[in-house]
């Protein structure tokens, strides 16, 4: 009799335990799919090598999950305990344990972005990357200006600077290869490297997107006519790639430099910055124009001219604008959309067939070369335009 009671009692106990286990199991299934305790978006970084228990505790401490043991149990139950991946994760309020585990399995990490503006030199880009949160490691020291393509790049926390720079380098190579293959006929450019050198000048010469093609057309015209480019940014780069922090002088324009296009009869030997895709495209497919000169118009854009006489009239008008003289309404320049670059900036001076000596006395005061900005000083910024140019359009 007592044996029957023992068996009956044992079976009852087992049934009760099974009922409890089934109840706990069903509760856990419900619990891992219930909304979590998080009330505000939160971001956590799970480092490489972190184990399951440590991940569970980190998530509980961040209030992303309510119970670290339940999180760990669920990850082991579905066989994903070893498949949780490191990275930076952003969690929205109310996410369940199941949803959190799925996010870590799929490595649904935060996408970060770094923007490299067009026209920077290498030092500026490296400084930007050094200040970019989440990037690690040192930068390579073999970057030259023009090697990288300025754009907005995505990255993840923990990516190396080397990896991002290599992506920028590949993007530049791909863009240049594509655009070079589609270049216009009869360009006075013998190689993609020459195209990059000219694109960098165009990038520095105008911040107005709609003008890039025409500015490129002016330089292409001057190259075809064997005229010196006389671009102020090349002079600055030859003195200090980081900039001068002051106005250019007569001495600057006459200073010998491999990059000074007031002195050399060719393109610079290398780019003076990292130009963007739009500037490269403008150089390889320039806007048709007969213009050989341009000067700032005081609104952020430029006035273009095909003849020296027309150019000098544009310069005279710009001088009035620069001096604050109001122009008649009919002569006021049409406003031009500007970009983030300076509204008035140095623009190339037209070249003589044979350059005059920089020490030659100037004739009567006239207009500055294209793009220059005359300011009152003991020494004028540039020699007078008319006194330095031949009396012809070439």
Q: In the prediction, which pLDDT does 320 show? A: 82
Beta pairing partners, 90: 43
127 has a pLDDT exceeding 70: yes
| Domain range list for the chain | 33-110, 112-174, 191-388
pTM above 0.85, yes or no: no
Per-residue pLDDT tens for 249-304?
Answer: 989 999 999 999 999 999 999 999 999 999 999 999 999 999 999 988 878 889 99
* % of the chain beyond a pLDDT of 90: 62
Q: In the prediction, which pLDDT does 32 show? A: 80
* Nearest-angstrom CA–CA distance, 381 and 375: 7
Q: In the prediction, which pLDDT does 326 show? A: 58
Is-contact 262 230, C-beta < 8 A?
A: yes
Per-residue pLDDT tens for 18-56?
Answer: 655 555 554 556 688 889 999 999 999 999 999 999 999
Is-contact 83 22, C-beta < 8 A?
A: no
Which residue is it, tokens 């970057």?
143
Per-residue pLDDT tens for 290-309?
Answer: 999 998 887 888 999 999 89
Cβ of 105: how many Cβ atoms within 10 Å? Answer: 14
Q: Which CATH class is domain 33-110?
A: alpha beta
Burial of residue 348, with CB atoms counted within 10 A of its CB: 0-12 exposed, 13-18 middle, 19 or more buried: buried
By residue count, the chain amounts to: 394
Per-residue pLDDT tens for 78-125?
Answer: 898 899 999 999 999 999 999 999 999 999 999 999 999 999 999 999
Helix (H, G, I), strand (E, B) or coil at 110: coil
234 has a pLDDT exceeding 50: yes
351 has a pLDDT exceeding 70: no
Per-residue pLDDT tens for 315-345?
Answer: 888 888 777 765 555 444 443 333 333 333 3
Lowest average pLDDT, out of 8-12, 45-49, 194-198, 378-382, goes to: 378-382
In the numeric block, which tokens belong to residue 377?
Answer: 């000083």
* Nearest-angstrom CA–CA distance, 136 and 269: 33
**Which has more confidence, 392 or 11?**
11
Q: In the prediction, which pLDDT does 16 show? A: 56
Q: In the prediction, which pLDDT does 334 show? A: 42
59-72 average pLDDT score: 94
- Continuous segment of H or E residues that includes residue 303: strand 302-305
* Nearest-angstrom CA–CA distance, 254 and 147: 29
Measured at the CA of 244, the angle between CA 220 and CA 317, to 5 degrees, comes to 55
* Nearest-angstrom CA–CA distance, 380 and 368: 10
| Contacts with 162 (C-beta within 8 Å, 6 or more apart), sequence order | 137, 138, 139, 140
């Amino acid at each position: 009799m007592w044996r029957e009671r023992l068996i009956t009692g044992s079976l009852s106990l087992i049934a009760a335990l099974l009922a409890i286990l089934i109840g706990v199991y069903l509760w856990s299934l419900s619990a891992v799919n219930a909304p979590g305790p998080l009330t505000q978006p939160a971001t956590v970084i799970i480092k490489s090598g972190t184990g399951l228990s440590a991940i569970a505790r980190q998530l509980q401490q961040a209030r992303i999950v309510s119970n670290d043991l339940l999180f760990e149990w669920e990850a082991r139950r579905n066989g994903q305990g070893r498949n949780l991946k490191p990275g930076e994760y952003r969690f929205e309020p109310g996410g369940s344990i199941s949803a959190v585990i799925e996010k870590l399995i799929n490595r649904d990490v935060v996408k970060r972005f770094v923007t490299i503006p067009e026209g920077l030199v290498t030092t500026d880009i490296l400084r930007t990357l050094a200040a970019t949160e989440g990037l690690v490691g040192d930068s390579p020291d073999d970057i030259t200006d023009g090697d990288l393509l300025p754009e907005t790049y995505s990255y993840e926390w923990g990516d190396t600077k080397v990896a991002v720079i290599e992506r920028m380098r590949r993007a530049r190579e791909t863009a240049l290869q594509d655009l070079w293959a589609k270049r216009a006929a009869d360009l006075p450019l013998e190689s993609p490297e020459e195209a990059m050198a000219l694109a960098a000048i165009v990038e520095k010469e105008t911040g107005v997107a709609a003008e890039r093609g025409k500015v490129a057309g002016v330089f292409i015209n001057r190259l075809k006519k064997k005229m010196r480019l006389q671009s102020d940014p090349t002079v600055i780069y030859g003195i200090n790639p980081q900039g001068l922090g002051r106005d250019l002088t007569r001495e600057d324009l006459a200073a010998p430099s491999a990059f000074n296009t007031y002195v050399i009869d060719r393109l610079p030997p290398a780019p003076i910055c990292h130009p963007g895709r739009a500037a490269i495209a403008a150089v390889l497919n320039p806007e048709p124009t007969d213009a050989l000169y341009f000067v700032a118009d005081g609104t952020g854009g430029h006035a273009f001219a095909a003849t020296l006489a027309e150019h000098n009239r544009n310069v005279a008008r710009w001088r009035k604008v620069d001096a604050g003289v109001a122009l008649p309404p009919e002569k006021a320049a049409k406003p031009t959309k500007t970009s983030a670059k300076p509204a008035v900036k140095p623009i190339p001076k037209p070249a003589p067939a044979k350059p005059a000596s920089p020490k030659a006395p100037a004739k009567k005061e006239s207009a500055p070369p294209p793009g220059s900005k005359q300011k009152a000083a003991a020494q004028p910024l540039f020699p007078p335009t008319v006194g330095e140019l031949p009396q012809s359009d070439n």
